[in-house]
């Protein structure tokens, strides 16, 4: 890979302070405290799957009341987004004073939308043969999330939702960057949300991918994932300074409907593309937020891909510090790309790194990585956040703190 021939992006792509609602909390102070101390935000749940109790990453903080909203917008997914929007409001309102609403876009990633509400209404339908009055099909449409935000805020710019499973909200950020580069928008509200529901939990159970205990990414004892929920939003603008999305890479393995390609070629290529777009060498990256689902196949593939890209970074520099924050939040599916980009954003602002939380028994069969600990203190100027999804679609985001 050659970096010398690649020019810097023609426009800046600044990510505002993230607005986050997740199992670690809903304020910067609460989230940072849990994130950098490695505190798990998982709770036991026996309602999402029959005859089985599972640890899940459930948002416990109060969410906005949706009883007065239009029926098509009443869903837990949108309540998560509304809570995040409240945090984003001061930044957005200051921007709107100088820019027309037609120049502000909305791009959201999700995989569940309002399916949880439909699940509850199905019980009524099975008993009576009729849908309850509160049921509205539109709330479960994939496009509902972006439409909700645009209508709630009265924005007239492009508004659409992406659903590529666990890469959805990471792709929303790259789509926002392209909207800015095209000149179509001056700013984009970008990120994602997913809420806990029986459909996803039972689907992953059918694949044999769920762990009955808190997940253990990269441990020899890893047994699978925990499912979580979250919302994470950014206002993406052309402003200079701050935290920039300076590169990204998107690839597709086309290897298997649910399993990653074992050699990690697609993940490797995504990281290399992100580095090339940002005109950076591997040795200039300080931290990698790993996708790290704690499944046998993902962790093996990802460790191998990271070692291939960063193992020869420099004769005097080791592999960047790495960690998977899914041990803390669970796998938030369509929200994880934006959520974990937000964690990288916080790491670059605080110069603390999220530690790798597991049982301490790293799998010796994995390619060796340098895992961050709660005691890790270092300057973090540049970070990569990985997200990989069903169908072998991969994305790596490269965030950089401007000088």
Round to whole Å and give the CA distance between 297 and 289. 18
- Give 166-179 pLDDT, tens digit per residue: 999 999 999 999 99
Question: Regarding the domain with residue range 246-401, which homologous superfamily does it belong to in the CATH classification?
Answer: Thiolase/Chalcone synthase (3.40.47.10)
Residue 382: pLDDT over 60 = yes
Q: Which residues pair with 25 in a beta bridge?
A: 22
Q: Which residues pair with 393 in a beta bridge?
A: 252, 389
- Give 99-111 pLDDT, tens digit per residue: 999 999 999 999 9
Round to whole Å and give the CA distance between 225 and 147. 31
Active site residue 73: no
Q: In which band, very low, low, confident or very high, does the pLDDT at 378 lie, cut at 50, 70 and 90?
A: confident
Whether 14-237 and 246-401 share one fold: the answer is yes
Architecture per CATH, domain 14-237, reads as: 3-Layer(aba) Sandwich (3.40)
- Give 51-77 pLDDT, tens digit per residue: 999 999 999 999 999 999 999 999 999
Instruction: Please give the pLDDT value at position 3.
Output: 41
Instruction: Please give the pLDDT value at position 9.
Output: 45
Round to whole Å and give the CA distance between 219 and 225. 12
- Give 298-327 pLDDT, tens digit per residue: 999 999 999 999 984 333 357 899 999 999
Round to whole Å and give the CA distance between 339 and 324. 12
> Residues 14, 215, 331, 336: which is the catalytic one?
331
Q: In which band, very low, low, confident or very high, does the pLDDT at 376 lie, cut at 50, 70 and 90?
A: confident
Round to whole Å and give the CA distance between 85 and 332. 18
Active site residue 166: yes
Average pLDDT, integer, range 154-160 = 97
Domain range list for the chain: 14-237, 246-401
> Residues 13, 14, 22, 166: which is the catalytic one?
166
Active site residue 124: no
> Residues 185, 291, 344, 380: which is the catalytic one?
291
Average pLDDT, integer, range 31-46 = 97
Q: What is the pTM of this model?
A: 0.94
């Amino acid at each position: 890979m050659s970096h010398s021939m690649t020019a810097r992006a023609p426009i800046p792509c600044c990510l505002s302070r993230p607005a986050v609602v997740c199992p670690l909390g809903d304020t910067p102070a609460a989230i940072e405290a849990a994130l950098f101390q490695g505190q798990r935000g998982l709770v036991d749940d026996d309602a999402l799957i029959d005859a089985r109790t599972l640890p899940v990453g459930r948002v416990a903080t109060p969410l906005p009341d949706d009883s007065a909203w239009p029926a098509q917008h009443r869903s837990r997914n949108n309540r998560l987004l509304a809570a995040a929007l409240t945090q984003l409001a001061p930044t957005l309102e200051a921007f709107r004073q100088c820019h027309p609403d037609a120049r502000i876009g909305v791009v959201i990633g999700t995989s569940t939308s309002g399916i949880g509400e439909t699940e509850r209404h199905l019980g009524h339908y099975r008993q009576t043969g009729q849908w309850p009055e509160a049921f509205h099909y539109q709330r479960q449409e994939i496009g509902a999330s972006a439409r909700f935000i645009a209508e709630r805020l009265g924005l007239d710019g492009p508004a659409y939702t992406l659903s590529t499973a666990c890469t959805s909200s990471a792709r929303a950020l790259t789509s926002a960057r392209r909207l800015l580069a095209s000149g179509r928008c001056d700013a984009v509200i970008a990120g994602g949300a997913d809420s806990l529901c029986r459909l996803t939990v039972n689907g992953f159970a059918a694949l044999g991918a769920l762990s009955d205990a808190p997940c253990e990414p990269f441990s020899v004892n890893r047994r699978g994932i925990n499912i979580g929920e979250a919302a994470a939003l950014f206002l993406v603008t052309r402003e200079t300074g701050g935290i920039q999305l300076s590169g990204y890479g998107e690839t597709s393995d086309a290897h298997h409907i649910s399993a990653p390609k074992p050699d990690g070629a697609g993940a490797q290529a995504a990281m290399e593309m992100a580095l090339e777009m940002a005109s950076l060498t591997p040795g200039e990256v300080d931290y990698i937020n790993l996708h790290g689902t704690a499944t046998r196949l993902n962790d093996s593939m990802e460790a191998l891909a990271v070692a291939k890209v960063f193992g020869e970074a420099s004769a005097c520099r080791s592999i960047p510090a790495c960690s998977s924050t899914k041990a803390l939040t669970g796998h938030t599916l369509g929200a994880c790309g934006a959520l974990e980009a937000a964690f990288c954003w916080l790491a670059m602002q605080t110069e603390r790194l999220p530690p790798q939380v597991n049982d301490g028994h790293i799998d010796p069969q994995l390619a060796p990585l340098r895992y961050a600990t709660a005691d890790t203190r270092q300057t973090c100027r540049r970070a990569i956040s990985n997200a990989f999804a069903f169908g072998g679609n991969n994305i790596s985001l490269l965030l950089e703190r401007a000088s």
